[in-house]
Amino acid sequence: MTGPVPTLGNTFGAVEIGTIVAVYLFGMITVQSEFYFREFREDKLGLKCAVAVIWFLELGHTIGFTVETYRSSIVYASHPQDYSSFKGIGVALLLGGIITMLVQCFFSLRTWRLLPNPYRFIGLLCIIASVARCGFSTWLASIALSAQSVATYLNNQKWLITMLLSFGAALDVVVTFAMMYFFLTKRKSALQTTSRMIDRLIGFTVRTGLLTSLTAIGSLIAVCVFSRVFSSRTDFF
């Protein structure tokens, strides 16, 4: 028994919606980067270079999705059945894995430096895990670059995509709760002025940690639910 027939709305349309969101988020990153370089000129050169590297990687990540959207909606608009390879998404996956590793290593390193023994080793383990995740992500991207069918790619690599998203969400949660534990412990013995600063740090930790993990969980749900749409019609993809 065959599954539901996919439409342009939940295939190519989904790619276009995702690209629009990606471009919007890249705009936010650009504004944040410009604000950082303008307001924090005294920061160390290494930190400034890290921000610049991440911005350029995000630029490449956005270009990858944009190119793939152009191919799917313009180049193959009249003959979507011929759309098979998706190298733009492969490049985006490769750069996205590197970006995720850099960001997670940054927060994990902060955990390593702030937490006392033996809890600081949580940060070290997260750094090792993040580098390992980047390796698997690079492997997934290399497969995407050489894949000739979206349906076959999703069917064969769904386990790896699921593992990477789950692993990324788990790392974000571990680092976030480790940092929150440290700040809440310090808050109990802090002065009122220091407590307000710690509250701001807790809020920053929640926004940068839990929100990214929720995004990864949302992506995981989308992969599990909507991958059946792509695999249900191998002649279309």
SS (H, E, C) the chain: CCCCCCCCCCCHHHHHHHHHHHHHHHHHHHHHHHHHHHHCCCCCHHHHHHHHHHHHHHHHHHHHHHHHHHHHHHHCCCCHHHCCCCHHHHHHHHHHHHHHHHHHHHHHHHHHHHCCCCCCHHHHHHHHHHHHHHHHHHHHHHHHHHCCCHHHHHHHHHHHHHHHHHHHHHHHHHHHHHHHHHHHHHHHCCCHHHHHHHHHHHHHHHHHHHHHHHHHHHHHHHHHHHHHHHHCCCCCC
pLDDT band at 127 (very low <50, low <70, confident <90, very high): very high
CB 23 within 8 A of CB 61: no
From CA 54, how far away is CA 115, in angstroms rounded? Answer: 26
Taking all residues of the chain, what is their mean pLDDT, rounded to a whole number? 81
Among 29-43, 184-198, 203-217, the minimum mean pLDDT is found in: 184-198
Percent of the chain with pLDDT over 70: 81
Confidence band for 199, pLDDT divided at 50, 70 and 90: low
Angle at which helices 121-146 and 87-114 cross, to 10°: 180
Instruction: Give first-to-last CA distance, the chain, whole Å.
Output: 19
- 93-117 average pLDDT score: 89
Question: In which band, very low, low, confident or very high, does the pLDDT at 9 lie, cut at 50, 70 and 90?
Answer: low
Say if residue 164's pLDDT is above 70: yes
Cis omega (within 30 of 0) on the bond before 116? Answer: no
pLDDT of residue 226: 66
Question: Following CA atoms 50, 202, 175, 24 in sequence, which dihedral angle do they give, to the nearest 10 degrees?
Answer: -50
What count of Cα atoms within 13 Å lies in the side-chain half-sphere of residue 21?
A: 7
- What letter represents residue 189's amino acid? S
Which of 96, 98, 89 lies closest to 143, judged by CA? Answer: 89
Question: Looking at the predicted structure, is the pLDDT value of residue 37 above 90?
Answer: yes
Determine contact, residues 151/237, Cβ cutoff 8 Å. yes
pLDDT for residue 62 is more than 90: yes
Higher pLDDT, 120 or 58: 58
More confident residue, 135 or 78: 135
What is the pLDDT confidence band of residue 155, given thresholds at 50, 70 and 90?
confident
pLDDT of residue 3: 45
